[in-house]
Structure 1
Amino acid sequence: MKDLFSFFAKNQSLIYKVFLFIVSTLLLIYLLPKGGQFKYNFQKGKPWQYENLYAPFSFSIKKSDETIKKEQQEIRVNSIPYFDFNTEIIQDVSEKFRNDVEKKYIDSLYTTSKTVVARLGERIIKDIYENGVSDEIHPFEKDKLIYLKRGNEIEERTYSQLFNKENLNKKVREIVEKNNTVDVQPLLYTLLNEAISPNVSLNTKLTEASINAELKALNPNRGVIEKGGRIIAKGEVVEGGKFQILESLKAEYQSQIWSKNNYLWLLVGYSLLVSLVFLMLFLFLKKNRPEIYHNNTKVTFIFFNIFLMVFLTTLIVNVHADYVYVVPICILPLILKAFFDPRLGLFVHVLTVLLLGFIVPNSFEYMFLQFIAGIVTILTVSELYKRANLFISVGQITLVYVVGYFAFYVIQEGNVQTLPIENFGYFFLCGLATLFAHPLIYFYEKIFGLVSDVSLLELSDTNSKLLKELSNKAPGTFHHSLNVANLAEASANEIGANSMLVRVGALYHDIGKMHNPTMFTENQVNSINSHDEMDPKESAQIIIDHVIKGIEIARKNNLPDRIIDFIRTHHGTTLVYYFYAKERELQGTADKEDFLYPGPIPFSKETAILMMADSVEAASKSLKEPSSTIIDEFVEKIINNQMDQGQFLNADITFKEIQLIKKVLKKKLNNIFHLRVEYPE
């Protein structure tokens, strides 16, 4: 039991990675579509690249989505609407009309008798209610066939046969002129207009039920291909009916292969493919980014982002596949570049898009566009802390999407007449969603404890609490840090390293000197040196301790680990040579172990640059009469000595880059120490 516990304790990092690998694989398999993959790849408008294809089984030819939508529209247009006919209203109308005649007819005003007026009104009411009265407005043609429902009976009518109250005046005029009773036309119109009420209304429920029944009965197939029948010949262009037959075969193949018998084998296949993708990611991290590989938080962060992109894409595809390009996949390389580096960002982006190829329709087009967009993201987004850069990059990414989609459409359709303009809106929505990278980066920093260039910009503010404390307690060290920051930033720009990171690291690398500032010469205001009265070993320990104290202060002030790395490594495992030599002079011998910094040595280009810039800037204060030759020899000597001690073995930095850094440091020091013109007093 004890051995088992010891094994887990020693290998907890590896065990966690295995656990993460298994969980991520299972989650992705769950999200992948539950269907087999068709073994042929084809595109509309492209030649069939395989041998002649014969039907492996009998299957129905599916109608295209456009055809089905067109037929559904035709059903809706040609459907016969149902109208309800209310017979009770007619009796109420007749009764009201008769009552109104009794009340409002005055014998002295009209030559036509009351009896005739009542008879004419009854006749008009009978005529207009024969087919019913409606005051509803519908977009039907006049000759549109309708069903009129009277109780349990249904009669066929045309829409124009329904009487509209607007035609009442015309109807009254026709009747009175025919019966020579024009004098009562105004009275008759007024009485009927007040009495008549609509008794016909559209039965929406019955009409929709009828339409739905027809839609349900719509046949989604347009024919059958028998087993063994030739589908397409090699070299034949995939278009029109051939394309639809292939799409039907693909759908049938996928539905048949995902059966209970094949379920286990399909899971095995998916498991192997997803595992290969994640295995490639682990191998890349272990070989090329060991500092990330050994940090479980960073590995979890990468896997979380991959899963997030797959989950969002799956969600959108299930809702509506046309919206798949709205998912801002380019946020993935953009964020990984902000926290790590461009190469890792692009590698993870490629692996993620490969996984998404199982999920999205028209996967070749999708993957091509996403690969190109990812490359553009990596090549264009620089210095994310500058807001304008993100907007410019998003514009370029959107343009790539639009141009790429247009090119694919032209290849497939051969024209632009039917180009769906609304699809370009999805790319603009994707661009807007990509702008969400800034708040997302802030969120990730708080959750995973990472640091981006945006946070580095905030840390570089010399008015921050910690740097102000440094300038007050150790002004000489603060001035030295500013000079080192300028030298290191210029060097980083020269070799393409992260200049913002190395500048911030330089500003904070000596904060440990705040603990005992007067023990460091740059903070001594007079000629008295406290070390003159101390044992060399004790003095060396005080100098060495500023690294340990710096780490403690940094952690207390919640500085990111990436900045603490500069504090830990800026002296590497070098020797405090002055006090080592002094001890040897006094004692005749000295143990180097007592005068060595604890390390570790620099493990990135940025930490290596800081070591060079710090050593050169600090030692340059000892130059008595600096000249261009002296400065050149001085820089060469210091950096060559660091190389001889193996301080840059883990820094992933080349000889060429070191030479470029030397060149920058020499130029900068020459500018600092250049001779000034002596002005007469």
Structure 2
Amino acid sequence: MWSKWMLAIRQLLDDDSFREGKRVRNGLYVALGVVLYIILVGTVLPPRYNFQLHQTSPVTIRAQITAVDTLKTQQNRDQAMQRVPPIYTQSTEVETGALQSADKLYQTATQVVTNTSLSTAARLQQLQAAAPKKVSPSTLQVLIGLDPQQIGLLQSVSDGIIKALLDQQFTQNSMSQASLLVDRQMLNYNLDHVSRLVVQDVVTSVLKPNMIYQKQATDKQRQLAAEQVPATYIHQGDVIVSKGEIISASIISELKDVGLYGNQPHYGVLFGFALFMLIAVGLLRVYIEHRPVRRRVDNLRLLILTLILTLMSILILLTKDVINAGGPVSAAYLMPISMGAMLITVIVDASLAVVTCFYLSLLFGAAMGYDFWFTFIAVVGSLIGAYSVERVTHRGTFMRAGFLVSLMNMVAILAMQLLAPGDGLDFHQTWVRLGLGGLNGLVSAILTMGILPFFETAFGLLTPIRLLELSNPSNPLLKKLLMEAPGTYHHSLIVGNLAEAAAEIVGADPLICRVGAYYHDVGKMRRPMFFVENQMTKENPHDKIAPSLSHLIITSHVTDGLAMLEQAGLPKPIRDICATHHGTTILWYFYNKAREQDKNGSVKVDDYRYPGPKPKTRENAILMICDAVEAAVRAMPKPTPGRVEGVIRKIIRDRLQDGQLDECDLTLQDLDAMVGAFMKTLKGIYHSRIEYPDPDKIRKEVAK
């Protein structure tokens, strides 16, 4: 059941309607954008926590960005403001008011004692109305019993003491010691005990602090002091709360500062990241669709590109989840970002891999808080990975690429560490990052080698590694070809050499051409003796059968080969080479033979054509020409360079005139260049040889 499903999927993926359909293609672009958005939107959205005071934290939370610690910064600034003393200014109005209050009392006392018409009670009442509130009744009783001269003396002494005290700074602290200060001043005057008490009572009742608090000036100075206090920062990667720690007000404040507290959705981030993905996928589509025809990516390759990018996005998400769960930020240096570039280079295309290097690096940097540091390191590692596996000759190429990626990762990390602002390097942190960066390249190479076979098997891909495996002579199909059709086997080897040389000249894939040549004639194993290269004697079975039957036998080796290749599980590009290596060319030998035997003139040339199809790729067209060239040159009795070149050019001209190359993108310049490649290769195969003498003949001559 499972094999049937796999076969159905493989048939769907190989179908031209899937590989070339525009709707499928547009759907893949849309799917790429949507899938990557769904996977990665969580990496750019900061996680939100809604802890309560005194709750136990279930996870370790680290700051994902660098932000100001508002609570600690405000506490430090409050302390700086408290250290600024209040600002006061000395007021003359306090002294004036105090003198006026004292003088009013003494003047009223002079008036009431000189007015003989007033009774004692009336005098006391008027004096009480003019007296300050704090003056005691006993002082008023004394005043109404004095004569004007004595009152004037007390007024003079009181004014002198008030001026002496209020001409200088008189604070609230001074006010608490007013009685003592007045007593000290009265030492300068010769007064009796009662007069001292009166003066002390009157002066202390009118004294007030003359230092007025300047709130605006004080606030301004405190604000300046607060502004001079530098902000306290929560740095990216700092642990805000450890697992099992009790949540405090300061922790909640720090979570708010770095945007990790609350449950309000970030609509702006959601929409902004959607625009980000739209631009990124749109530019990627523009690049892919505007590539030259020779480097076109079909829908199957586009599907694989989508799957690789999806896989890399999942790895980015897992890396971010590890960091969000309390893991160290340095875990990001272990993210095998270069694996994606290696896979795309080997499976899809090297130039497309370079573009996707920047694409993946931007996504990785966005997930890591839009940090240029991680973007730069990812770009360096990805580019080195892509360039290192551009030509894969064996699986050791991946390990070499892994070591190169490790080395360049370490160089990039060291460069960024040296460029980081600060007083010096944190050697422990630097060594940790260098170690993880070095391990990154090896992990990327190992994962690439491990994942690549799954893509090869699931999609029938023809990667360089798969091609190298298929080119091994111990392959069962090639061993069977060697045993059952040795002439065809050697013919295939020579065609492979010709095709590889031609492909290198015109920019086609040499490895596909060589391996395709090895398998293009496997269908001849069904009836090997009907093909001249396998005939060990001069007897030709075609001489005994009709030309039409010979035509069917010869052309059937294409369909037979396709069936064998499909049964052996060979990828579609190899099967396409087998299907198109004769195109719709004509079997002229059997057509002429049939025409000679036909007495009615009913033989049609189209009845003696191969079923096709015509070649659609450069590799297929190269194999068609190489197959014909090798057969023609091998049949030449005396192959001189001039005659060989003439035959090659005639074969190419015939294929052009017959329209066999109309559907591929080989140019006339390519075809001319291929002639030179064929000549160099054939020169080494069909070179002239000296005629060695017969040893028996020499012995007889010596004996005579």
Query: What is the TM-score of this pair, normalised by structure 2?
Result: 0.61
What is the correspondence of 1:107-186 to structure 2 with a 5 Å cutoff?
Answer: none
C-alpha displacement of 1:544? 1.7
2:434 alignment partner, one of 420, 424, 430? 424
1:217 alignment partner, one of 235, 245, 250? 250
**In percent, how many aligned pairs have the same letter?**
28
Q: Is 1:276 paired with 2:288?
A: no
User: Which of these two proteins has the greater Rg computed from alpha carbons?
Assistant: 2
Structure 2 counterpart of 1:433, which letter?
A: V
- Tell me the alpha carbon deviations over residues 425-462 of structure 1, each in whole angstroms, 9 at most, x when there is no partner: 12112112112211211222233332322222222222
* Partner SS state of residue 691, structure 2: coil
Structure 2 counterpart of 1:303, which letter?
A: T
1:338/1:453 contact within 8 Å kept? yes
1:318 alignment partner, one of 315, 321, 339? 321
* Partner SS state of residue 328, structure 1: coil
Q: Which residue of 2 aligns with 1:442?
A: 453
**Whole-Å separation in 1 of the counterparts to 2:540 and 2:336:** 61
1:610 alignment partner, one of 623, 636, 639? 623
Q: Is 1:341 paired with 2:355?
A: no
Structure 1 counterpart of 2:303, which letter?
A: T
2:304 alignment partner, one of 296, 301, 306? 301
What is the correspondence of 1:266-665 to structure 2 with a 5 Å cutoff?
Answer: 266=272, 269=275, 272-273=278-279, 275-276=281-282, 279-280=285-286, 283=289, 292-295=297-300, 298-320=301-323, 321-413=329-421, 417-418=425-426, 420-436=430-446, 437-587=448-598, 588=601, 590-665=603-678
C-alpha displacement of 1:556? 1.6
**Whole-Å separation in 1 of the counterparts to 2:435 and 2:237:** 24
Q: 1:461 to 1:220 in 2, by over 3 A?
A: same
1:517/1:523 contact within 8 Å kept? yes
* Partner SS state of residue 687, structure 2: coil
**Whole-Å separation in 1 of the counterparts to 2:278 and 2:523:** 51
* Partner SS state of residue 420, structure 2: helix
2:402/2:441 contact within 8 Å kept? yes
**Whole-Å separation in 2 of the counterparts to 1:19 and 1:535:** 53
Structure 2 counterpart of 1:317, which letter?
A: K
- Tell me the alpha carbon deviations over residues 73-123 of structure 1, each in whole angstroms, 9 at most, x when there is no partner: 9xxxxxxxxxxxxxxxxxxxxxxxxxxxxxxxxxxxxxxxxxxxxxxxxxx
1:72/1:215 contact within 8 Å kept? no
Q: Which residue of 2 aligns with 1:228?
A: none
2:499/2:622 contact within 8 Å kept? yes
Q: Which residue of 2 aligns with 1:63?
A: 233
C-alpha displacement of 1:514? 1.3
1:480/1:617 contact within 8 Å kept? yes
Q: 1:666 to 1:17 in 2, by over 3 A?
A: closer
Q: 1:416 to 1:391 in 2, by over 3 A?
A: farther
Gaps of 5+ in 1: 1-8, 45-59, 74-207, 225-247
* Partner SS state of residue 217, structure 1: helix
Q: 1:68 to 1:466 in 2, by over 3 A?
A: closer
What is the correspondence of 1:185-204 to structure 2 with a 5 Å cutoff?
Answer: none
C-alpha displacement of 1:619? 0.9
C-alpha displacement of 1:548? 0.9
1:330/1:373 contact within 8 Å kept? yes
Q: Which residue of 1 aligns with 2:175?
A: none
Deviates more, 1:508-517 or 1:331-340: 331-340
2:516/2:578 contact within 8 Å kept? yes
Q: Which residue of 1 aligns with 2:686?
A: 673
C-alpha displacement of 1:11? 7.6
Q: 1:607 to 1:584 in 2, by over 3 A?
A: same
Q: 1:586 to 1:488 in 2, by over 3 A?
A: same
C-alpha displacement of 1:506? 0.9
Q: 1:558 to 1:218 in 2, by over 3 A?
A: closer
Gaps of 5+ in 2: 1-14, 47-64, 68-229, 324-328, 695-704
Q: 1:654 to 1:449 in 2, by over 3 A?
A: same
**Whole-Å separation in 2 of the counterparts to 1:453 and 1:309:** 22
Q: Which residue of 2 aligns with 1:149?
A: none
Q: 1:377 to 1:267 in 2, by over 3 A?
A: closer
C-alpha displacement of 1:422? 1.4
Q: 1:521 to 1:421 in 2, by over 3 A?
A: same
1:281/1:348 contact within 8 Å kept? no
RMSD of aligned Cα (Å): 3.9
1:510/1:546 contact within 8 Å kept? yes
* Partner SS state of residue 474, structure 2: coil
C-alpha displacement of 1:520? 1.3
Structure 1 counterpart of 2:322, which letter?
A: V
* Partner SS state of residue 421, structure 1: helix
**Whole-Å separation in 1 of the counterparts to 2:439 and 2:273:** 35
Q: Which residue of 1 aligns with 2:95?
A: none
C-alpha displacement of 1:644? 3.7
**Whole-Å separation in 1 of the counterparts to 2:269 and 2:672:** 60
Structure 2 counterpart of 1:301, which letter?
A: I
- How many residues of Structure 1 are paired with residues of Structure 2 in the alignment? 487
1:605/1:652 contact within 8 Å kept? yes
1:61/1:221 contact within 8 Å kept? no
**Whole-Å separation in 2 of the counterparts to 1:652 and 1:325:** 44
